[in-house]
Amino acid sequence: MTSPATHLVRLLTVRGETLAVAESLTGGLVAADITAVAGASKVFRGSVTAYATELKHQLLGVDATLLAERGAVDPQVAAQMAAGVREALGADWGIATTGVAGPEPQDGMPVGTVFLAVDGPATADSGCAGGGKVTALRLNGDRAEIRMESVRSVLALLLQQLAGEQTGNERAQDTEQNGGF
């Protein structure tokens, strides 16, 4: 079976599109998964691992007031991270991970709270802050399991977005959109 990263690299290569990654809780694991695929250099622009909260603002352009009021574990932060890395690295698509891998809660959020975001040409007019699609997860497991499931899930989210765009299934994309962010 083809890994999600392999499928993603192949699909982006065929489409002639590029990808940039912004990571927090995954600490570079998404980028490592993508770059482990032969041919990734054709599509992968780079990544920013903004583990410290202030770097999300300084490097990715996440709104400082949002970070001060809501903390780094927030759906709008994830959306702005994806949009920010896409812009900063000049990619067609940006994906982002932020959340709490543990062992302690962060920003009032329990361990296992994760927000994933995609920003790209099909999501730029979605109406969400930051111009992207966001998915919220509540994951169980230890720190390593939460981080690995976050990697798998953000790649799956982008693949889902690309598949929805390919089929022109706008209704499905609308129903998948998380409201209220």
Pairing of strands 113-119, 133-138: antiparallel
With beta carbons less than 8 A apart as the criterion, state whether 101 and 113 touch. Answer: no
Tokens of 141: 């497991």
Q: What pLDDT does residue 122 have?
A: 54
Distance between CA 144 and CA 173 in Å, rounded? 30
- The domain segmentation of the chain, as residue ranges, is 4-176
Q: What pLDDT does residue 173 have?
A: 35
Residue 120: helix, strand or coil by DSSP?
coil
Q: Over the stretch 43-85, which tens digit does the pLDDT of each residue have?
A: 999 999 999 999 999 999 999 999 999 999 999 999 999 999 9
Confidence bin at 127 (pLDDT 50/70/90): very low
Q: Which CATH number fits domain 4-176: 3.90.950.20, 3.40.50.300, 3.30.1490.100, 3.10.270.10?
A: 3.90.950.20
Tokens of 65: 């007031």
Q: What pLDDT does residue 132 have?
A: 63
Over residues 83-107, the mean pLDDT reads 96
